[in-house]
Structure 1
């Protein structure tokens, strides 16, 4: 209702004296208002429930439910609490006027009244109501804009981080690829050379079982037998180390999806393996961190999904890291003595069109009053310096807004938390973001 439509507002008159109702309704209709009438408090409450008026003119002294009780009932109902109520009464005692304002009235007109006074007060309240509605609308628009700006800021930060990560990965591959290939390619012939030399030395020992004193002394000083035995172990360890580096490089390449198209078909189990490979150091116990057990329950024949592969890897990384942070910050004294910090990772096909990943921990859980804010940008329960509150907000954007999936939190304080990610198997149009 704008200022031009104030005169056509819907006004409910509540009075148990028919003459008063006729007088007020005639006066209001002459000014263009739409008027409804109720002769008692019960009928007034029914009329408001059927159709909310823009303003109510309410008498105080009525049989049955009086005006104060009607006003209190309307103000206690969230659906009708915003309706302005002007009391119109012959009572002129100051205590009655105070009570009228205490129960929620916005104005008070004393009978007998002047037409100009009634019209002025009605127009004033309707203008105030109109301004309040405009303000509420502007506040809603401002909140939506603020939310969009925060989401855009998160997206820009994450894009910058991913660009930096891709550049780092590309640099690592460029700098390490050649030396790793060189070492890996030469370890096998080096191992063969060592075996040949050892075989030759053993033949010399068979042919010349009595070496000279100088050779014997030198062999004892060098501990030749130990060297011959340990040299083969050393090269085998080098081969194991190179294999480990290859696995890390592969996991990093899968995680960042370097040089691959944004939208592609991926194996979620491969993504999980690569992430767990990269953060294995956080799961292993040391002087600073507790050891965390990971239990995987992978669905057989889980279909590949078509998605932004690098972003889905980022979501998996964020959620597992979040579970690790929760377990590491949990007070072990609050658990049973046999408490084993554990993360359960489960994959399943929900229906023919969707798959799900569930990541659950047995930490301290999340308080109910925090759960509704957990996906808000820059909101974090961590201490200063441990996080910016972007991980879960970014994950929500990726899953819900970019993939039309679902990211659902369920948590019982003291028993842990679970994040469930549902993703469509085939891409569908993105939701518009207002």
Structure 2
């Protein structure tokens, strides 16, 4: 027996023993594997259990005929792509047209000519293999294009973000340096003027009526006391702006093509500083509490700017999830929270967990979460690229792991693991 290249089998459906004998002999002579069904119902059941490469289907059978059998096979997602060749003595155009309209790929007329059967079977098996190969190539190319798109978008976003943040940091830094450097001498001047006024009060305890009126109108004692408080506020404010500026510069240490040793806690804190406006209370919800439980981590050799982008994407998604839960009325008795925990696990991997108590993700969507252009958010509220970019950065750039635990209405936890 000749060994055929095809590892699948052909299903023959015919109730006539003579026809079955001829078809079986023809296929057997060429080494094709085959199975037999004698009616439409058993053919459908067999095809559902184990999909054949090709079906040779008789038109005229007891029970459901070949046309109805073909119709049911094509309506079933499991069997709809199996090529069907009708075997029939019906040679009229109407019957052939009906068969093709139902999804058949060919006809083999009865009585059978063995060479014709073999030729048609070979042609349609080759066409099926070519179709599957083409579909796989299209699928592979599509995935490659999506992956390239994610990289391009990620690089463009990071470059644009880096330039924007660096520019903002630079613009903030100059005026804040001017302000903070002048606060100290201003404090000295005010202290000296205050002392001078007190000396005047001691040397001239009885001022004129005009000066007395001016002192009362100004409320001099209050002004002198309040100026000190104002200067302290200016000093605290300038320090806060300086911290924000430092956070911006730390966040955009990023447009780098090489790994550097970095403090991931500093990256997390810089990202939290940039996102702090989103944690504040608004008309729809109370303030989101950010709870940090940092372990002791060494500096990690990584693309720190890219990791900051991962933190940004995941934390922004966490805020969105909390907002969505509140919008849907599912957090009436809960305080909105985001928990961040870090540790080194038993495999010496850096582990960062970012968890929220928001809307959660259904099980059916979790497996698609890191696909490019897939988003669980309403139309217009997400690009579907944030988590795909995060996955590419963690898994491909850092040879790490990005996983998710989530249940609807129970919140979501992202787990980032990267080597030390």
Q: TM-score by structure 1 length?
A: 0.78
Aligned to 1:344: 339
Matches within 5 A, 1:348-387: 348-387=343-382
Which residue, out of 113, 117, 132, partners 1:117? 113
CA distance in 2 between partners of 1:333 and 1:173 (Å): 38
Q: Deviations over 1:258-287 (max 9, x none)?
A: 686641111111111111111111111133
- What is the correspondence of 1:31-46 to structure 2 with a 5 Å cutoff? 33-34=30-31
1:25 is displaced (CA, Å) by 6.7
CA–CA separation in structure 2 for the residues paired with 1:379 and 1:357: 24
Counterpart Cα distance in 1 of 2:166 and 2:17: 86
The residue number in structure 2 matching 1:257 is 253
* 2:163 is aligned with 1:167: yes
Provide Cα deviations, 1:349-404, integer angstroms capped at 9, x if missing partner: 12343111111111121122322222222222333443322211111111112111
CA–CA distance in 1 between the matches of 2:390 and 2:261? 19
The alpha carbon displacement at 1:235 in A equals 0.9
The structure-2 alpha-carbon separation of the partners of 1:131 and 1:177, relative to structure 1 and needing over 3 Å to count, comes to same
Deviations 1:227-277 (A, max 9, x none): 111111111111111101110011111111168664111111111111111
Which SS does the other structure have where 2:113 is aligned?
helix
Residue 36 of structure 2: aligned partner: 58
Task: Return the alpha-carbon distance in structure 2 between the equivalents of residues 382 and 22 of structure 1.
Answer: 59
Query: In 2, Cα distance between the equivalents of 1:69 and 1:93?
Result: 11
The 1-side partners of 2:375 and 2:169 are apart by 34
Q: Does residue 233 in structure 1 map to residue 214 in structure 2? A: no
CA gap of 1:257–1:289, structure 2 versus 1, over 3 A, is farther
- Aligned counterpart, 1:41: none
Unaligned runs of 5+ in 2: 74-83, 90-108
Q: Quick one: structure 1 residues 146 and 226, their matched pair in 2 at CA, closer, same or farther if it must change by over 3 Å?
A: same
Query: What SS class does the counterpart of residue 345 from structure 2 fall into?
Result: strand
1:95-130 per-position Cα deviation (integer Å, ceiling 9, x unaligned): 5643765786744478xx988524323432332232
Q: Judging changes above 3 Å, is the alpha-carbon distance between structure 1 residues 190 and 387 closer, same or farther for their aligned structure 2 residues?
A: same
1:29 to partner: Cα distance: 6.2
Calculate the aligned-residue CA RMSD, in Å.
3.4
Contact kept, 8 Å, 2:291 with 2:339, in 1: the verdict is yes
- Could you say if the C-alpha distance between residues 6 and 132 of structure 1 is closer, same or farther in structure 2, counting changes exceeding 3 Å? farther
Deviation at 1:94, TM superposition (A): 6.2
Cα distance change on mapping 1:27 and 1:214 into 2, 3 Å: closer
CA distance in 1, matches of 2:346, 2:42: 52
Compared CA separation, residues 260 and 57, structure 1 to 2 (3 A): closer
1:71-102 deviations in Å (ceiling 9; x for gaps): 3443122xx313324368xx965656437657
- The TM-score, its normalising length taken from structure 2, stands at 0.81
- CA distance change for structure 1 residues 8 and 120 in 2, over 3 Å: closer, same or farther? farther
Residues 262 and 309, structure 1, Cα contact 8 Å, conserved in 2: no
1:194-343 residue pairs with structure 2 within 5 A?
194-257=190-253, 262-287=258-283, 290-299=286-295, 301-331=296-326, 334-335=329-330, 337-343=332-338
Q: Match of 2:412?
A: 417
Secondary structure of the residue that 2:222 maps to in structure 1?
Answer: helix
> Does the 8 Å contact 1:86/1:108 carry over to 2?
yes
Alpha-carbon deviation of 1:322? 0.3
- Number of residue-to-residue matches in the alignment: 387
Counterpart CA distance in 2 for 1:100 and 1:389 is 42
Shift of 1:328: 1.0
